[in-house]
Amino acid sequence: MADWDWWPRFHDPSLRLSLRDQVAVHWDANVRMLRDWRACWTFVWISLLPVPLLAVAVVAVTSTFAAPAARLPVALGIGLVMLATYGFLQHVAFSVAMRRTYVPLVRMALAARGHPTCVACGHLLGPGAPAACPECGSATSGNG
Ligand SMILES: [Zn+2]
User: pLDDT tens-digit profile of 32-52?
Assistant: 999 999 999 999 999 999 999
Query: How far is 102 from 31, CA to CA, in rounded Å?
Result: 11
Q: Is 124 found in the same domain as 94?
A: no
CA 21 – ligand 1 centroid, Å: 22
Residue 8 in domain: no
Asked if 108 and 127 sit in the same domain, the reply is no
Question: Rounded to whole angstroms, how far apart are CA atoms 117 and 119?
Answer: 6
Asked if 28 and 92 sit in the same domain, the reply is yes
- Please give the tally of structural domains in the chain: 2
CA 139 / ligand 1 centre spacing (Å): 8
Regarding whether 95 and 29 lie in a shared domain, the answer is: yes
71 CA distance to ligand 1 middle (Å): 54
Statement to judge: residues 50 and 96 lie in one domain: yes
CA distances from 89 to 83, 92, 96, 112, 137 (A): 10, 5, 11, 34, 31
Give 11 Cα–ligand 1 centroid separation in angstroms: 10
Q: How far apart are CA 122 and CA 134, in angstroms?
A: 11
pLDDT at 69 over 70: no
pTM to 2 decimal places = 0.80
Residues 35, 101 within the same domain: yes
> Does residue 123 sit within a domain?
yes
Q: What is the domain extent for residue 130?
A: 116-144
Beta bridge pairs of residue 59: none
Per-residue pLDDT, averaged over 75-90, amounts to 90
Q: Are residues 54 and 101 in the same domain?
A: yes
42 domain residue, yes or no: yes
